[in-house]
Amino acid sequence: MFKLHVIQAEFGDCMLIQYGSEASLKFILIDGGPTGVYENSLRDTLTNIVSSGELEAAIITHVDIDHIKGILDLLAELKAQKDNNEELFIGIKDCWMNTFSATIDTNNTLANRINSIFSTAAGNGIQMASTAIALNGIKEGNKVTTLCNVLNIPMNSPATQGIMRVGSPNASFNMDNLEFTIVGPTKENLDELKIKWDEWLTERENDMAAGNFNLLSMSDKSVPNLSSIAFLVKSIGRTILFTGDGRGDHLIEGLKKKGLLKNGRMHVDVLKVAHHGSDRNTNRDFFENITADTYVISANGKNGNPDYATLSWIVESAQLTERPIHLVLTNQTASTKKLLKDYAPEESGYSIEFIPENESSIEV
């Protein structure tokens, strides 16, 4: 048994792995989507599909609000049930999440600097939406840690250094009939990201010291990303590559470090396309080197995702090797409609499906 349920997460990510045997089904939740997803899609999916009443793990690939909020809502409901001495409607054996403080802000100074810049901007009537998203994600990650402690849910149990990254755990590990290999982030990725955060903050602090508050709004678009846990799952001869919001070059670096590339290439059965199909995270070369039979994209058009360029790269890379592929998307958007117009499926060698209206998920 090895199935992937892609849950309607609007502009975020939310997926459920089903594995084990018919007699003993097991489940792993990956991300929880943004506000509203838990109430509208995730809770019903857990109630209807997770027959065992237990998750082997809840994985938060990173603490962006469009990935973490649904799991935070789940944990909050479980805490309320515990406080009321009610039976928990679902159990969680483990939670995987890399906190900002454990990976980037190891000396506990960056979050305070981000908050100071955001507060100063707000005090001067300047909006910094991307900075607010990053700051809120950091805070929500701390809430998850607190709730897991209250609910006695262990965190990052497979990790050998407290965080989930390449080299921690040191090797692939098994969960029943699943084999996990962590392929991102690498230590180098985290070190690079820490430097980028420090440089970005220093520039913003210099702008404020010079009284150039108007520059804060412009620089908000360049706020560094938060690192994603990326991993390869194998079972019964099939493979799924989960990428979070990782960058394509970082993913390839992690795959290379784990010895998973052959002549610089890799093929999987299912590829969860990074960052909701944004063309800022990947390029044509990535899809020519990391190929799949099925591509999963969770997006609803917000921020232009999935980008038309990404969709065309996927289709064209498959055409180069005459590979029939299948696209699974959560929502129809302007870019998916343009793809269907410019690349007719029957002529371009691909098929496509979306989560049906009024349905909470689709099975891959």
H-run or E-run covering 195: helix 187-209
- Please report the pLDDT score of residue 5 as a whole number: 98
- Please report the pLDDT score of residue 274 as a whole number: 97
Could you tell me what percent of the chain has a pLDDT over 90? 97
- Please report the pLDDT score of residue 226 as a whole number: 84
Residue 328 has pLDDT above 90, yes or no: yes
**Mean pLDDT of the region 84-90:** 97
**Mean pLDDT of the region 15-35:** 96
**Mean pLDDT of the region 319-335:** 97
- Please report the pLDDT score of residue 295 as a whole number: 98
User: pLDDT, tens digit, for every residue of 55-67?
Assistant: 999 999 999 999 9
Residue 225 has pLDDT above 90, yes or no: no
The residue length of the chain stands at 364
The DSSP-derived string for 66-114 is HHHHHHHHHHHHHHHHHHTTPPPSSEES-EEE--HHHHT-TTS-HHHHH
Residue 52 has pLDDT above 90, yes or no: no
Average pLDDT, the chain: 96
Q: What is the pTM of this model?
A: 0.96
**Mean pLDDT of the region 223-237:** 94
Model confidence band, residue 108 (pLDDT cutoffs 50, 70, 90): confident
Residues 274/246, Cβ–Cβ less than 8 Å: yes
User: pLDDT, tens digit, for every residue of 127-181?
Assistant: 999 999 999 999 999 999 999 999 999 999 999 999 999 999 999 999 999 999 9
Residues 90/38, Cβ–Cβ less than 8 Å: no
Q: Which domains does the chain possess?
A: 2-363 (3.60.15.10)
**Mean pLDDT of the region 289-301:** 98
**Mean pLDDT of the region 260-285:** 96
- Calculate the CA 208 to chain-centre distance: 33
**Mean pLDDT of the region 237-242:** 97
- Please report the pLDDT score of residue 286 as a whole number: 97
- Please report the pLDDT score of residue 236 as a whole number: 92
